[in-house]
Amino acid sequence: MAHGEVVPTHPTGLANWNPSVGPTGSEDHPLTTSQLELLDDVIREAERFTGLRFSAYLGDLGANTAASAESLLDGLGPDAPYAVLLAVSPGQRVVEVVTGPEAARRVSDRAARLAVLGVVSACTDGDIGGALVTGVRHRTTG
């Protein structure tokens, strides 16, 4: 997967993915403090394990979700070539995984697809925080 290439991640055909199910937090703070701490720990572990930069985004991705995800990756500046971005937009029922060119050489498309499946499964259960954690973990083990 080259820089800017987005793994096809729209969960079409997954009728059980209900975007109205989500975290128990408020709209301004959809994840609890413990969920954020766990996500931070998992990202730090993934970065230490792989030497890559991991980033997670939760929110609306606009009309062109792939372009928005690519823009978020580019926003990582000099880290972008070595970055893996997991973007989840529950309201749009979209998960995007984007990698920089150096990260793409080291993390397989299979891992990205497994990450998406794990994210969708956790979202189906209403666990958005767990979905982000699962996505990052799959990206390092697939």
Domain positions in the chain:
33-141
**pLDDT tens-digit profile of 63-94?**
999 999 999 999 999 999 999 999 988 888 88
The average pLDDT across 24-39 equals 72
Q: Which fold has domain 33-141?
A: Diaminopimelate Epimerase; Chain A, domain 1 (3.10.310)
> Lowest-confidence range among 11-15, 25-29, 60-64, 69-73?
11-15
N-terminal to C-terminal alpha carbon distance within the chain: 14
Q: What is the pLDDT of residue 136?
A: 84
**For residue 15, is pLDDT > 60?**
no
Burial class of 118 by CB neighbour count within 10 A (0 to 12, 13 to 18, 19+): buried
